Amino acid sequence: MKIVIQPARPEQRRDRPAGDKLVFGKNFSDHMFLMDYRENGGWRDPRVVPYDNLTMDPAAMVLHYGQGIFEGLKAYRWADGRIHLFRPEKNVERFNRSARRMCLPEVDPNLHLEAIEALVRIDAEWVPRSAGSSLYIRPTMIATEAALGVRPAHECLFYIITGPVGAYYPEGFNPVRIYVSDEYVRTVRGGLGEAKTMANYAASLYAQEIAKKKGFTQVLWLDAVERRYVEEVGTMNIFFRIDDELVTPPLTGSILPGITRDSVIQLAGHWGIKVTERLISIDEVMETIETGAMKEIFGAGTAAVISPVGSLFFKEKTYKVQDGGVGEWSRRLFDEITGIQYGEKEDPFGWVREVKP
């Protein structure tokens, strides 16, 4: 299928914010990608069009039953002006895994990649130049069939929007204070946790608000059955450096298989660090902090890349990780991954992919 491109007319172009005024998720570029699906007929009409409102029936199934998925990746401008994506094949693949779990149709991976590239190419001027900034890309699929009744929709829409975002740490690498939620859970094994689907974020809001009111940045999620094993932190995967070993929870079904998580595991292994995927209980975490064996804790995800955890608050007690500062491995992983993304460091795994002009 060929992607039809309808460029925005001058009056349809949007105001582009200054490089130092980029707020995450607030500004969107001039164009979007759309493609429609019908059960008998499959995907049709892939197109890049001016960014605009979507119209849909108030009975559109996504609005009632939450049948929708998304992805998040970024395009980075290198010092030489060229634009690169970071492991986009992984996002495209995960999108289809999420689609299967949510009974949505899969998208041809090559067409999906082509759509991302067509969009980045036409809005190349929207890929910011300021340090640490990027163009955030949000592929989304929603059930658009107008029908009430719980069953998979026969019609849906796949769309991609993009928007410039600033450096995650404009004032430098900043450790966060984390609230451990032992009352509310994000997901459960056998549930939707491993899919990037809308419901997971709805499920997280309440505990996130409690944490925020108490002055914490993010929630650390425990498993839903025993409230004992650590799962994720906010919308990031979590890593523990215990002495000289890196530990992260295994992908048991309730954890989102992060691409940054995978990059951290591969890089650390490449450096000769022992990486173990295993269950880790909150009691072990607290104990290890108290004995001093816990050297670092950090979150990993596309938005922040690496987010160092300064302290954990659990059952009315604060546990400070070492001196509450940024750990050596957190810093090294952040520098290495962002270095690869911006073309400042060697790319031994072939992770970057140029968007040719």
Ligand X SMILES: *Cc1c(COP(=O)(O)O)cnc(C)c1O
Q: Which residues bind ligand X (CB under 6 A)?
A: 72, 196, 232, 235-237, 256, 258-261, 301-302
Q: What angle (nearest 5°) sits at the alpha carbon of residue 256, between those of residues 145 and 316?
A: 115
Query: What are the counts of helices (DSSP H) followed by strands (DSSP E) for the chain?
Result: 7, 18
Least separation in angstroms between residue 327's CB and ligand X is 19
Q: How far is the CB of 2 from ligand X (least distance, A)?
A: 29
31 versus 112: smaller Cβ distance to ligand X? 112
Q: Please, which residue, 46 or 139, has the CB nearer to ligand X?
A: 139
For residue 229, give the DSSP letter.
B
Q: State the minimum distance, in angstroms, from the CB of residue 280 to ligand X.
A: 16
Distance CA 139, CA 305 (A): 19
Inter-axis angle of helices 88-101 and 109-122, nearest 10: 130
Q: How far is the CB of 198 from ligand X (least distance, A)?
A: 11
State both tokens at 151. 């069953």
Q: State the minimum distance, in angstroms, from the CB of residue 1 to ligand X.
A: 27
In angstroms, rounded to a whole number, what is the distance separating the alpha carbons of residues 129 and 133?
Answer: 7
For ligand X, give the closer residue by CB, 127 or 300. 300
Tokens found for residue 254: 């309730």
We find the least distance from the C-beta atom of residue 277 to ligand X, in angstroms, to be 15
Lookup result for tokens 């009409």: 45
> What span, in angstroms and rounded, lies between the C-alpha atoms of 85 and 99?
22
Q: What are the φ/ψ torsions at residue 176 (nearest 5 degrees)?
A: -110, 155
Euclidean distance between CA atoms 263 and 339, whole angstroms: 13
Q: Which is nearer to ligand X, 36 or 262 (CB)?
A: 262
Residue (38 or 101) nearer to ligand X, CB? 101
Residue type, 126: W
Nearer to ligand X, 37 or 184 (CB): 184
In one letter, which amino acid is 13? R
Residue partners of 86: CB distance under 8 A and separation at least 6 = 73, 74, 76, 340, 341, 351, 352, 353
| Identity of the residue, 294 or 303, whose beta carbon is nearer to ligand X in the bound complex | 303
